[in-house]
């Protein structure tokens, strides 16, 4: 099934009015979005992922959203941007926001002891002179708590404990490390952060999330526990990792129960795009009734750096470095599902990816999506600002792909040497995206037109390379791509 994508020039339902010119309408942005569509569809297919949904956001505008494959392959239900997936550990962002709301309201402090906020917190601490477990320790995963509650719930039949069962077994568990010593990702820690929200607010966790965060942001398709999701027909079916024979097992429906604050939420890429846009909005406006801008900035900067200087965490948010660029966000991995939201707050850019199988690394996909779209958005903003100032003298409008080149766009079969060569519009001309690849910008070859159906590769040093000739059937229909004396047949 081919990709179903949409470049949007409309805004989020709860966003301010559009500026005079949509970033999504710019030719370079449309090219980048089109390349993302081709690339993600191929990665999904080559990795045998049933379905994938994704979105790209700039500030208050969803500039692209789409889906490929199936939400339920057995039923033939296609994946869409409105398909709901388990977002698993992305749940921690909403739990952390709830904690920070209560902090800002003066109802707790980040250095509050967990044993004071939760009188039943009775885990065994075998380390002498260990600092107390604090709220900040929970949000930065530096509390010293073990990774999980003392139950077996990450293997079949995925029997998650209730809230009461988590509390009951806590006293039988021991601290893994001294508090404030090491980073240790902890679902137990964020589960207890959710308990702090419920205890301090006097409101059940799910109800608090709904009324204080999700509804005010406009996230009507997001729910704190996937097992209680009110729109079951929208839910994707999850599949496990690839087995030796190439198959994937269909996963049973999840009900996360007491672990919901750490891993229970279900959402769509449309809602998560709305979540990203909300963050950019309050950073610009100074805040809203949900959260203040300074509090969000506080959450998105580093509060914990491990002794090896390799792992850093904000408050709830992960803070990551990739190719000398800093991203904030979170990823999720649950039985049958992987997801991510990655943001560049300064550039007001975000990417969301959700899949209903394990193995495609949505966080790596999202970062590459942002690498592809960022230069195009920068150019679109510069061109828009120049036009709005009324000074267009000497500035050429961005070039579109010449209509006569459109018949060359498509995929060509590289068997037995590789997957395929996808010819795509790029910077007003054509380029070849070699698939599959996890580094699309690095595996993109630009072509320079010579004449007719003949092109030459543009080398990295700008000089022309070998010749590429599009072969047709004599009636104008392109049937292959010839280079190095071999003709590779068209696939689509």
Q: Give pairs for 304-310: CB < 8 Å, separation 24+.
A: 304/140, 304/141, 304/142, 304/183, 306/182, 306/183, 307/182
Percent of the chain with pLDDT over 70: 94
**What string of H, E and C letters represents the secondary structure of 415-483?**
CCCCCEEEEEEECCEEEEEEECCCCCCCCEEEEEEEECCEEEEECCCCCEEEEEEEEECCCCCEEEEEE
pLDDT, mean over the chain: 93
pLDDT at 240 over 70: yes
Cα 401 from chain centroid (whole Å): 30
Residue 361 lies in a domain: no
pLDDT at 10 over 50: no
| Joined tokens for residue 185 | 């990702």
Q: What is the residue range of 466's domain? A: 403-489
pLDDT at 5 over 60: no
pLDDT at 52 over 90: yes
Q: Note whether 383 and 23 are within 8 A (CB).
A: no
> What does the DSSP assignment read for 24-69?
GGSHHHHHHHHHHHHHHHHHHHHTT-SEEEEEEEETTEEEEEEEEE
Residue 167 lies in a domain: no
Residue 189 lies in a domain: no
pLDDT at 473 over 90: yes
State the average pLDDT over residues 263-279.
98
pLDDT tens sequence across 343-376 = 999 999 999 999 999 999 999 999 999 999 999 9
Q: Predicted confidence band at 122 (pLDDT cuts at 50, 70, 90)?
A: very high
Q: Note whether 309 and 319 are within 8 A (CB).
A: no
- Residue 479 belongs to domain with CATH number: 2.40.128.600
Q: Note whether 196 and 135 are within 8 A (CB).
A: yes
Residue 67 lies in a domain: no
Q: Note whether 274 and 218 are within 8 A (CB).
A: yes
Q: Peptide bond before 157: cis, by omega within 30 degrees of 0?
A: yes
State the average pLDDT over residues 72-97.
98
Residue 260 lies in a domain: no
pLDDT at 394 over 90: no
pLDDT at 1 over 50: no
Residue 428 lies in a domain: yes
Residue 124 lies in a domain: no
pLDDT at 100 over 70: yes
pLDDT at 399: 81
Say how many domains are in the chain: 1
State the average pLDDT over residues 174-187.
96
Residue 84 lies in a domain: no
Q: The pTM is what?
A: 0.94
Question: Beta strand 410-413 with 420-426: parallel, antiparallel or unpaired?
Answer: antiparallel
pLDDT tens sequence across 321-350 = 999 999 999 999 999 999 999 999 999 999
């Amino acid at each position: 099934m081919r990709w179903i994508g949409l470049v949007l020039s409309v805004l989020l339902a709860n966003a301010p009015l559009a500026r005079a010119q949509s970033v999504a309408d710019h030719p370079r942005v449309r090219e980048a979005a089109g390349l993302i569509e081709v690339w993600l569809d191929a990665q999904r297919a080559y990795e045998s992922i049933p379905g994938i949904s994704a979105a790209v956001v700039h500030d208050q505008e969803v500039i692209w959203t789409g889906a490929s494959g199936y939400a339920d392959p057995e039923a033939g239900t296609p994946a869409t941007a409105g398909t709901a997936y388990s977002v698993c550990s992305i749940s921690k962002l909403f739990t952390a926001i709830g904690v920070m709301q209560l902090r800002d309201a003066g109802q707790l402090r980040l250095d509050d002891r967990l044993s004071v906020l939760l009188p039943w917190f009775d885990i065994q601490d075998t380390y002498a002179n260990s600092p107390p477990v604090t709220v900040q320790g929970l949000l930065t995963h530096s509390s010293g708590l073990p990774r999980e509650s003392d139950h077996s719930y990450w293997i079949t039949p995925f029997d998650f404990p209730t809230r009461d069962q988590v509390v009951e077994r806590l006293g039988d568990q021991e601290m893994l490390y001294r508090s404030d010593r090491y980073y240790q990702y902890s679902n137990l820690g964020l589960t207890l952060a959710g308990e702090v929200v419920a205890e301090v607010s006097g409101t059940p966790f799910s109800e608090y999330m709904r009324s204080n965060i999700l509804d005010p942001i406009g996230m009507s398709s997001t729910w704190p526990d996937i097992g209680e999701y009110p729109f079951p027909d929208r839910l994707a079916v999850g599949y496990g990792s690839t087995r030796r024979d190439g198959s994937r097992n269909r996963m049973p429906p999840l009900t996360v129960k007491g672990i919901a604050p750490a891993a229970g939420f279900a959402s769509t890429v449309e809602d998560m795009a709305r979540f990203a846009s909300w963050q950019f909005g309050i950073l610009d406006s100074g805040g809203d009734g949900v959260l203040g801008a300074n509090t969000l900035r506080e959450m998105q900067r580093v509060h914990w750096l491990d002794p090896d200087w390799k792992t850093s965490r904000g408050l709830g948010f992960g803070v990551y470095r990739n190719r000398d660029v800093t991203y904030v966000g979170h990823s999720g991995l649950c039985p049958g599902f992987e997801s991510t939201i990655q943001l560049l707050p300064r550039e007001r850019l975000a990417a969301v990816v959700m899949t209903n199988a394990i193995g495609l690394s949505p966080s790596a996909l999202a970062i590459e999506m942002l690498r592809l779209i960022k230069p195009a958005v920068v150019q679109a903003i510069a061109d828009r600002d120049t036009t709005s100032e009324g000074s267009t003298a000497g500035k050429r409008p961005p070039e579109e792909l010449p209509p006569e080149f459109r018949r060359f766009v498509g995929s060509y079969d590289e068997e037995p040497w590789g997957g395929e060569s996808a010819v795509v519009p790029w910077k007003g001309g054509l380029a070849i995206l070699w698939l599959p690849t996890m580094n699309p910008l690095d595996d993109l070859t630009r072509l320079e037109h010579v004449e007719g159906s003949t092109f030459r590769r543009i080398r990295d040093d700008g000089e022309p390379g070998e010749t590429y000739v599009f072969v047709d059937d004599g009636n104008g229909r392109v049937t292959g791509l010839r280079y190095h004396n071999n003709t590779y047949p068209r696939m689509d």
